[in-house]
Amino acid sequence: MKLNEIQDLIKFVAKSGVSEVELETKDVKIVIKTPAGKKEQIYVQTSAPAQQMSAPVQQSAPAADTKAPDVKAPAANDDAKYVTIKSPMIGTFYRSSSPDKPAFVSVGDEISEGKPVCIIEAMKLFNEIESDIKGKIVKVLVNDATPVEYDQPLFLVDPS
């Protein structure tokens, strides 16, 4: 396995949000672990003596822009009365199940516990994100079809 292929694998794992990946071929065994500290630990073992790789290698996860460019943060006094629905994973945020379907929720919609509010795609899997609170959508904080990080705010909800 070439060094650039290993680097691509590291980038893919960092973006996917998985905590551990293990890949083994007849020549190479690679284990990538991403603990809660956001650093990746990569262990490479080779059985072919001709390949020169060092182990362990540590590389920090790539930084991603977590704020949508056209979204303004609410004032501090307004923020206190709203509850934030946050992303449970890294992926791509979608407001609807397909481009020709309406958004799951819009500003002003009433939501209840268990109601789908969006979809986050991670590694070609579409994960339906459900609300864990009851209230009214006040603001959508992320643009459709944009990448989101773990724990990134997606919606502001007025629980009253």
- Please give the structure tokens belonging to residue 14: 């960092």
Per the confidence metrics, is the pTM higher than 0.85?
no
Neighbours of 25 (CB within 10 A): 10
Dihedral sign for Cα 42, 43, 48, 53, please. positive
Question: To the nearest 5 percent, what fractions of the chain are helix, strand and coil?
Answer: 10, 40, 50
Mean pLDDT of the chain: 76
Per residue in 92-123, pLDDT tens?
999 999 989 999 999 999 999 999 999 999 98
Say what the pLDDT of residue 1 is.
65
Structure confidence at residue 149 (pLDDT): 94
Q: Which residue has the higher pLDDT, 63 or 15?
A: 15
Share of the chain above pLDDT 90, in %: 46
Cα 86 to Cα 63: distance, rounded to the nearest angstrom: 18
Higher pLDDT, 41 or 83: 83
Domains by residue range for the chain, with CATH? 3-60 (no CATH), 76-158 (2.40.50.100)
pLDDT tens per residue, range 30-69: 777 765 544 445 555 555 444 444 444 444 444 444 444 4
Determine how many CB atoms are found less than 10 A away from the CB of residue 7: 12
Checking if the pLDDT of 8 tops 90, the result is no
